[in-house]
Amino acid sequence: MNTPRAPLKSLDDALIELLAQAQVLAQTELVSTFDGQGRVLSADLVSALHVPPQDNSSMDGYAVRCADLDGADQALPVSQRIPAGAAGAPLLPGTVARIFTGAPVPAGADAIVMQEDCEPVPDSAGQGLGQVRVKSTPAMGQWIRRAGEDVSRGAVVLACGERLTPASLGLAASIGMSALPVVRRPRVALFSTGDELVMPGDIAPEQMPAGAIYNSNRFFLRSLLQGLGCEVTDFGIVPDRREATLDALRQASAQHDLILTSGGVSVGEEDHIKPAVQALGELDLWQIAIKPGKPFAYGKIHRTASATLAGTACHFIGLPGNPVSSFITFLVLVRPFLLKLQGATQCMPVSMAMPAHFAWPRADKRREFLRVRRNAAGGLDLFPNQSSGVLTSAVWGDGVVDNPPGQTIAPGDVVQFISFSELMA
Ligand code: AMP
Ligand code: MG
């Protein structure tokens, strides 16, 4: 008699387990602010100054004292000229200062009048700075950017655990940081399994032997890993043999934080990954109730005493071989894991509610990630072939619908959409 099979683990439970295993890498390093994109801060960045440092003009125009302008269309002498980068002198009462965008507002001035609202009146002799006729009544404080309105001295500008974006690099630079403390890059060993795999370039399409296919997973997995700040060692294709699998795992575990494989993790006789991981360490998680992507595995390889990283276990993640399964499980499971390893506080993607402009009449027991695309009408279209082998769906689509188990979808239903740009950031 068959023993009843235990229900598959839910994605949420699997993520909790996986993230609990992802202890933040202990080593940190300083990188040039130029090279910080995508890295995770290992300390708070505290500003030692106000940004902007002084009150400054947000317009090209004239710095004035409002009290000098009683509303009449009057001409006042221009007593100084303050370009950006200059300091300027206190504003003499009854005069205005020519001022340019970004220049400090002189002491005593309390508003800027934009040059479009002023009419210069040259000196009769054509010398000096002349006068200016102010044609509008300024409001107190207008067109002045206040000191510290972006950042005030002592503020935490970027917190430990933030992942650096181009905008945050600019903000770090604005408080004078030329180098940033970040968690070191995770070292990831990548290998593809499958005797059917051929590398593009090794055999021409017209010469492909029967049964062979090109290795596509290797390309997107390597680039996804690099996009997440990893140092990748690509071990290429590992043959479907027990000894070769054991050798590759043993060798890769010595100096990597994570071994990421694709294929060979199902239950077929040619699937050697699972028993090999069990022989060299432990398998903590296997199979998840998602579609595509059920044959997902997580475990650890115990390192030999002589290994570079001896003392800690090497994480192992086995992705399914089917390209879309591999792609989706990377995005929903490996990505948060790698972000957590780097200490990122924000590891999970943000989803948004959007109307489905398609029908999905057959519910599945597993949580599904349907490849869809946003349309101009503000809804989602479905790629017609949702097979886990059809990688075109991931190129045509610009994201996925995160569809709960047992859920059908009718046109107009509100579903949860996660964009690929969110999942690949
Ligand atoms: P497996 O998980 O090894 O049973 O593979 C499942 C399916 O994915 C098979 O049809 C494989 O040929 C295919 N596959 C496995 N690895 C890759 C790869 N690296 N690139 C493209 N297809 C793959
Ligand atoms: Mg295989």
Mean pLDDT by 10 residues, the chain (425 residues): 78 98 97 98 98 97 94 86 97 97 98 96 79 94 98 98 98 98 98 97 98 98 98 97 96 96 90 95 96 97 79 92 98 98 98 98 98 98 98 98 98 98 96
236 lies in some domain: yes
62 lies in some domain: yes
Task: Tell me which residue of 101, 96, 91, 136 sits closest to 116, measured CA to CA.
Answer: 136
125-131: long-range pairs with CB below 8 Å, 24+: 128/78, 129/77, 129/78, 129/79, 129/80, 129/81, 129/98, 130/77, 130/78, 131/75, 131/76, 131/77, 131/78
Tokens representing residue 27 in the block: 């080593």
Which CATH number do you get for residue 286? 3.40.980.10
Residue pair 114/8 in contact by the 8 Å Cβ criterion: no
Least distant ligand from the CA of 216 = 1
Shared-domain flag, residues 105 and 253: no
What DSSP state is assigned to residue 155?
A: -
Task: Tell me which residue of 231, 261, 233, 257 sits closest to 246, measured CA to CA.
Answer: 261
347 lies in some domain: no
What DSSP state is assigned to residue 124?
A: T
Shared-domain flag, residues 193 and 264: yes
Residue of minimum CA distance from atom 10 in ligand 1: 322
Residues in contact with ligand 1 (CB, 6 Å cut-off): 192, 194, 196-197, 213, 215-218, 262-266, 320-323
Shared-domain flag, residues 394 and 414: yes
What's the CA-to-centroid distance between 380 and ligand 2, angstroms? 33
Cβ-count burial 165-181 (b if 16+ within 10 Å, e if not): eeebbebbeebebeebb
Which CATH number do you get for residue 380? 2.40.340.10
pLDDT recorded at residue 123: 77
Shared-domain flag, residues 63 and 36: no
Shared-domain flag, residues 217 and 333: yes
pLDDT recorded at residue 2: 59
Shared-domain flag, residues 89 and 73: yes
Shared-domain flag, residues 167 and 177: yes
What's the CA-to-centroid distance between 3 and ligand 1, angstroms? 29
Tokens representing residue 211 in the block: 């049964």
**In which domain, by residue range, is 356 found?**
352-423
- How far apart are the C-alpha atoms of 404 and 215, rounded to whole Å? 31
151 lies in some domain: no
DSSP string, 133-152: EE-S-PPTTTTEEPTTSSB-
Task: Give the three-state DSSP class for 278.
Answer: helix
pLDDT digits (tens, 9 = 90+) for 72-102: 677 999 999 999 999 999 999 999 999 999 9
Which CATH number do you get for residue 89? 2.170.190.11
Q: Which residues pair with 213 in a beta bridge?
A: 197
What DSSP state is assigned to residue 406?
A: T
3 lies in some domain: no
Residue of minimum CA distance from atom 23 in ligand 1: 321
400 lies in some domain: yes
CA–centroid distance for 96 within its chain: 48
- How far apart are the C-alpha atoms of 66 and 191, rounded to whole Å? 71
Q: Enumerate residues 6+ apart whose C-beta is below 8 A from 315.
A: 21, 22, 257, 258, 259, 298, 300, 337
- How far apart are the C-alpha atoms of 368 and 375, rounded to whole Å? 21
Tokens representing residue 5 in the block: 């099979």
Shared-domain flag, residues 79 and 161: no
Mark which of 122, 145, 168 sits at the end of a domain: 145
Tell me how many domains the chain contains: 4
Shared-domain flag, residues 136 and 106: yes
Shared-domain flag, residues 193 and 244: yes
> Max Cα separation, the chain?
111
Q: Which residues pair with 373 in a beta bridge?
A: 381
275 lies in some domain: yes
In single-letter form, the type of residue at position 371 comes to R
- How far apart are the C-alpha atoms of 158 and 182, rounded to whole Å? 12
Q: What is the atom index within ligand 1 of the atom nearest the CA of 193? A: 16
Record the pTM. 0.94
Shared-domain flag, residues 293 and 192: yes
71 lies in some domain: yes
* Of 191, 193, 197, best ligand 1 pocket probe by most atoms within 8 Å of the beta carbon: 197
Mark which of 118, 145, 172 sits at the end of a domain: 145
- How far apart are the C-alpha atoms of 302 and 191, rounded to whole Å? 18
What sign for the dihedral angle of Cα 63, 69, 71, 76?
negative
* Of 190, 213, 235, best ligand 1 pocket probe by most atoms within 8 Å of the beta carbon: 213
Mark which of 145, 167, 202 sits at the end of a domain: 145
Task: Give the three-state DSSP class for 222.
Answer: helix
pLDDT recorded at residue 71: 67
Which CATH number do you get for residue 44? 3.90.105.10
Q: How far apart are the first and last CA of the chain?
A: 49
pLDDT recorded at residue 362: 96
Residue pair 412/356 in contact by the 8 Å Cβ criterion: yes
- How far apart are the C-alpha atoms of 160 and 284, rounded to whole Å? 30
Q: Are strands 156-158 and 45-46 parallel, antiparallel or unpaired?
A: antiparallel
Shared-domain flag, residues 107 and 92: yes
What sign for the dihedral angle of Cα 214, 217, 219, 220?
positive
In this structure, the dihedral spanned by the alpha carbons of residues 162, 167, 173 and 175, taken in order and rounded to 10 degrees, is: -70
